[in-house]
């Protein structure tokens, strides 16, 4: 029997594994073994629990193990290997975000135009939700919720991040917040939405042109990650 670390990976290297692919493969593996249907169902439901809450996954496995027809040891090991690979995948993604945030911070005060300057100048396309003479709101290219809109000042004026705000910025800061409310109204999420400003590398800020994230259209969780 192979140790979990040596079990075959469905696709290429660690970074190309899609959690969806792993879930699908595990389901197929179990569903082809018709005579072990009972075991398969127990395993899939244990895995579903594992997906939703790591805290209860151990309990789910204990229950399966102590049932009259326990899940076979190889399937148990296979599920554990999936769990550890999913953790690895999450860790890689998180580290990538943190690394690019550190990199962006290093050139934050260079004064160089950011990607948002190009969007404001309409040099690169974006899906604009709201615009006036001082503020632009456009959809995030990598949405974290059904509604995810970025609200930015058209003129950066030293506002690379909120932490650089000065008294003279109070008016534009108010306008940005008011624009966030207009966006929420236009997007039909006034009953529940979140406004986020990531400030600096430890908050994973990646673009050094002040921007508000307006998020909504799903149930938000607290505390945020």
Binding-site member from 47, 78, 138, 193 for ligand 5GP (CB under 6 A): 138
Q: How far apart are CA 211 and CA 213, in angstroms?
A: 7
Q: At CB < 8 A and 24+ separation, what contacts does 46-54 make?
A: 46/71, 46/79, 47/23, 47/79, 47/82, 50/79, 50/82, 50/83, 51/23, 54/83
Question: Is 205 among the residues that bind ligand 5GP (CB under 6 A)?
Answer: yes
Question: Is 141 among the residues that bind ligand 5GP (CB under 6 A)?
Answer: yes
Binding-site member from 23, 195, 206, 217 for ligand 5GP (CB under 6 A): 206
Question: Is 106 among the residues that bind ligand 5GP (CB under 6 A)?
Answer: no
Question: Is 83 among the residues that bind ligand 5GP (CB under 6 A)?
Answer: no
- Strands, sheet with 212-216, edge to edge from the N-terminal-most edge strand: 128-131, 135-139, 147-153, 212-216, 193-196
Binding-site member from 7, 9, 115, 182 for ligand 5GP (CB under 6 A): 115
Question: Is 198 among the residues that bind ligand 5GP (CB under 6 A)?
Answer: yes
Question: Is 128 among the residues that bind ligand 5GP (CB under 6 A)?
Answer: no
Number of residues in contact with ligand 5GP under rule CB under 6 A: 14
Q: How far apart are CA 81 and CA 173, in angstroms?
A: 48
Question: Is 195 among the residues that bind ligand 5GP (CB under 6 A)?
Answer: no
Residues tagged active-site:
211
Question: Is 117 among the residues that bind ligand 5GP (CB under 6 A)?
Answer: no
Residue 26's closest CA among 92, 83, 96?
A: 83
Q: Interaction with ligand 5GP in 142-171: which residues (CB under 6 A)?
A: 142, 150
List interacting residues with ligand 5GP (CB under 6 A). Answer: 115, 119, 126, 138-142, 150, 198, 204-207
């Amino acid at each position: 029997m192979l140790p979990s670390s040596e079990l075959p990976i469905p696709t290429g290297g660690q970074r190309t594994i899609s959690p969806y692919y792993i879930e699908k493969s595990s389901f197929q593996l179990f569903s082809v073994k018709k005579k072990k249907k009972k075991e398969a169902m127990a395993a899939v439901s244990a895995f579903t629990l594992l997906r939703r809450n790591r805290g209860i996954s151990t309990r789910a496995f204990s229950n399966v193990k102590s049932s009259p027809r326990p899940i076979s040891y190889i399937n148990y090991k296979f599920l554990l290997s999936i769990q550890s690979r999913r953790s690895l995948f999450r860790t890689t993604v998180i580290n990538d975000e943190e690394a690019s945030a550190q990199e962006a911070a290093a050139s934050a005060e260079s004064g160089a135009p950011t990607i948002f300057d190009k969007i404001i100048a309409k040099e690169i396309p974006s899906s604009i939700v709201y615009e006036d003479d001082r503020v632009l709101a456009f959809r995030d290219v990598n949405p974290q919720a059904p509604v995810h809109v970025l609200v930015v000042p058209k003129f950066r004026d030293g506002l690379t991040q909120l932490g650089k705000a000065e008294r003279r910025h109070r008016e534009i800061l108010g306008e940005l917040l008011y624009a966030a409310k207009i966006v929420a109204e236009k997007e039909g999420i006034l009953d529940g939405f979140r406004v986020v400003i990531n400030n600096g590398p430890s908050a994973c800020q990646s673009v050094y042109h002040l921007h508000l994230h307006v998020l909504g259209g799903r149930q938000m969780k607290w505390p945020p990650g």
